[in-house]
Amino acid sequence: MTLGKPMSAKVREMNLELNRMETIFQKERLVSAPLMVQLPTGTRCNLRCIFCTDRTPAMAGAYRDLGLEEFIPMAHGLETAATVQLWGWGEPLLNPEYGAIFDYVTANYPGIQINVSTNGTLFDAAWHRRLLAYANFSLNVSVNAATRSTYRLVTGTDLFGRMAANLRGFGRRLRESAGGCSQYSVSFVVVRENLHEIPAFVDLAAEFGAGHVQFMDMMAINPSFGVISAGSEGGRVRELFAEALQRAAMAGISIGTFLPYGEHDYLAMDKYGGGAVAAAEAEEPVALKPCYEPWRNMLVSSDGTASLCCRSGLVTGNLRNDGLEGVWNGDIYRFVRKTVNSADPPDVCRNCPVKLGISS
């Protein structure tokens, strides 16, 4: 049975309050359900970004779309979630059934906030109107360049013009609408090839009508990515970022970052995480910060594999096999809740940007 919108809102509010109390008391087994669930829609993409997995034609068979019938069982349990992220490791709008998935969620879980993350190349006027009509969503567009030439270098495609036209059109329609978009952001993964465009990217975001810019460090998912890492360019990036902050202030745009441009060295993950020296053994260890993601979030991949965040890579179960409750209160989730904020957190948590105070 589908709950009506007022009842759905009440159920979510009750789950939120219960979750807050269980988080405050650091409960290991939860009665409350996840506040945010990321559900997969497929892994295909129409770009070939240099910091992503291999997207050459030879690897096309490794990626696929998720159909509606495959998606529906994974959505069980969304009645209590405040937010669902409808995207995965790829471009969601490339999936011909993405519209049907979107409609299923909005019809069966009325009032839930939907988060969409896209590269913008297929985000046309029809999708602008569809999201604005739903009126409870957030949007991130992964752009990663401020000019056509750098975009071509970073993404391996010449779709900058189409993407830019789509985002300018959305910004215009958003200004003309009555609201409903909690955040419209554009994101930029910093690598050697694009770091010089950090300040100009803020200007481009203003042209697009975005209210937020998110700068991110490259995820080292391939050992060969060291050649494109900006990790050795800390001083230069800090200067560029300082200029970006000034431009953002003038434009009224907020900036978020997974990069430690403040109190820590640039790319502290190189210094504290994943390398030869762990944070606790570093010459200048930082005080680890609290993390609450194990009480709030669940991320699900196309094969049903679940994890608690995008940084640890820690598998917490399989939604297809164990169901939401089986994963949510399974051994791994309970172990992480018990230890993540203790004096002896798991190794994967010691090296996390959240625990290091680099990002929130």
Q: Could you identify the residue written with the tokens 């230069």?
A: 236
| Strand-pair category, 212-217 with 254-257 | parallel
Q: pLDDT tens digits, the chain, 360 residues: what are they?
A: 555 667 788 999 999 999 999 999 999 999 999 999 999 999 999 999 998 877 777 676 778 999 999 999 999 989 999 999 999 889 999 999 999 999 999 999 999 999 999 999 999 999 999 999 999 999 999 999 999 999 999 999 999 999 999 999 999 999 999 777 889 999 999 999 999 999 999 999 999 999 999 998 877 666 777 788 887 787 888 889 889 999 999 999 999 876 543 333 333 333 333 332 334 444 555 568 899 999 999 999 989 999 988 777 789 999 999 999 999 999 999 999 999 999 999 988 887 777 777 665
* DSSP per position, 54-97: --SGGGGGG--BPPHHHHGGGGTTTTS-SEEEE--SS-GGGSTT
Measured in residues, the chain has a length of: 360
Q: Could you identify the residue written with the tokens 């570093």?
A: 282
3-state SS, residue 107: helix
pLDDT of residue 262: 38
pLDDT of residue 272: 32
pLDDT of residue 280: 41
Closest Cα to residue 258, out of 217, 313, 221, 225? 217
Closest Cα to residue 116, out of 96, 136, 97, 133? 136
3-state SS, residue 164: helix
DSSP character at residue 34: P
Are 120 and 143 spatial neighbours (Cβ–Cβ below 8 Å)? yes
Q: How far apart are CA 316 and CA 298, in angstroms?
A: 9
Could you count the other beta carbons within 10 Å of the beta carbon of residue 10? 12
Are 236 and 261 spatial neighbours (Cβ–Cβ below 8 Å)? no
Q: How far apart are CA 299 and CA 84, in angstroms?
A: 10
pLDDT of residue 359: 60
To the nearest 5 percent, what fractions of the chain are helix, strand and coil? 45, 15, 40
Handedness of CA 166, 171, 177, 183 (dihedral sign): positive
> What is the identity of the amino acid at 23?
T
Number of helices (H), then strands (E), in the chain: 13, 10
Q: Could you identify the residue written with the tokens 């009645």?
A: 79
Q: How far apart are CA 136 and CA 140, in angstroms?
A: 14
pLDDT of residue 353: 72
pLDDT of residue 233: 81
